[in-house]
């Protein structure tokens, strides 16, 4: 049985096509599930083919209309193939794009390698540009007369993160790109917003904790306590809470929200 639309979603979905990058775990997976539950057809991607296939199977077992393909969104040719596959699979233009693919990365800036810096910027920023451009043109979004782009940024895109210069730089840039695109695409009926998670319990969060524990020569539990002490709510957000805001931004009642960077962080970021 097909999943029912989320109560209070603000619109009855017409089966619009939603493309979600980095959607096999964490926030991306929660977003794919949320959009599918709202009645959208969802096309997902990640770099590992086996992960994509398993995620598609799992979400379909929940009654959602989901397909997917493996793609490296840092690569222009791969992005072109990804968008073409999404459109061909569901025989309709992309109306919702969620740029979620990303990675952590940092350390003492004096010790950073060129390779790490470039990979973080490529993954977190350049991929957003590449996928957005391809979706607007060959994905049919610009010509649709209505659409939603949501970029997953971070509270690190509004404030610096200790030992996280590449990550902070990339997410600040995503926020800037979002605000510029929001103004540019408004006349086309397309809203563009950034969702800025704070600390969210995901596989990436586990890697970040482990990294700080190594640098500080301490336990991951201690790192967790230091992180939580910064959050007024006293806990990490969940991927589902982030996905809930993403889903809301795709609805008709969110039509006047554009060029914004909205936090989901338990009070961690206060601007």
Token pair, residue 266, equals 């338990």
For residue range 47-77, list pLDDT tens digits in order. 999 999 999 999 999 999 999 999 999 999 9
For residue range 136-158, list pLDDT tens digits in order. 999 999 999 899 999 999 999 99
Q: From its phi and psi, is residue 32 left (phi > 0), alpha (psi between -120 and 50) or beta?
A: alpha
pLDDT score at 61: 98
Residues known to be catalytic: 167
Mean per-residue pLDDT, 158-177: 96
| Position 3 pLDDT exceeds 90 | no
Spans of all domains in the chain: 17-198+239-252, 201-236
The rounded distance, in Å, linking the Cα atoms of 64 and 39 is 8
CATH topology for the 17-198+239-252 domain: Rossmann fold (3.40.50)
Predicted confidence band at 202 (pLDDT cuts at 50, 70, 90)? confident
User: What pTM did the predictor assign?
Assistant: 0.91
Neighbours of 75 (CB within 10 A): 16
The rounded distance, in Å, linking the Cα atoms of 75 and 84 is 14
């Amino acid at each position: 049985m097909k999943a029912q639309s989320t109560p209070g979603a603000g619109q009855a979905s017409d089966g619009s096509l939603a493309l979600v990058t980095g959607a096999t775990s964490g926030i991306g997976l929660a977003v794919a599930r949320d959009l599918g539950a709202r009645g959208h057809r969802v096309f997902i991607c990640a770099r590992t083919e086996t992960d994509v296939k398993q995620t598609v199977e799992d979400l379909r077992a929940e009654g959602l209309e989901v397909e997917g393909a493996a793609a490296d969104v840092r690569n222009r040719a791969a992005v072109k193939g990804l968008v073409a596959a999404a459109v061909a699979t569901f025989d309709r233009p992309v109306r919702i794009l969620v740029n979620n693919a990303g990675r952590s990365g940092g350390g003492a800036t004096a010790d950073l390698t060129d390779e790490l810096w470039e990979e973080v910027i490529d993954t977190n920023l350049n991929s957003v540009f590449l996928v957005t451009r391809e979706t607007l043109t060959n994905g049919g979004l610009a010509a649709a007369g209505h659409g939603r782009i949501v970029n997953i940024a971070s509270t690190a895109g509004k404030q610096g993160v200790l030992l996280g210069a590449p990550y902070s730089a990339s997410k600040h840039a995503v926020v800037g790109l979002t605000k510029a695109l929001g103004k540019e695409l408004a006349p086309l009926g397309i809203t563009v917003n950034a969702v800025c998670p704070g600390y969210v319990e995901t596989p990436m969060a586990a890697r970040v904790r482990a990294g700080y524990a190594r640098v500080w020569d301490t336990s991951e539990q201690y790192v967790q306590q230091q992180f939580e002490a910064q959050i007024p709510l006293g806990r990490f957000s969940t991927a589902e809470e982030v996905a809930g805001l993403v889903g809301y931004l795709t609805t008709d009642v969110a039509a006047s929200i554009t060029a914004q960077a909205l936090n989901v962080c338990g009070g961690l970021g206060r601007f």
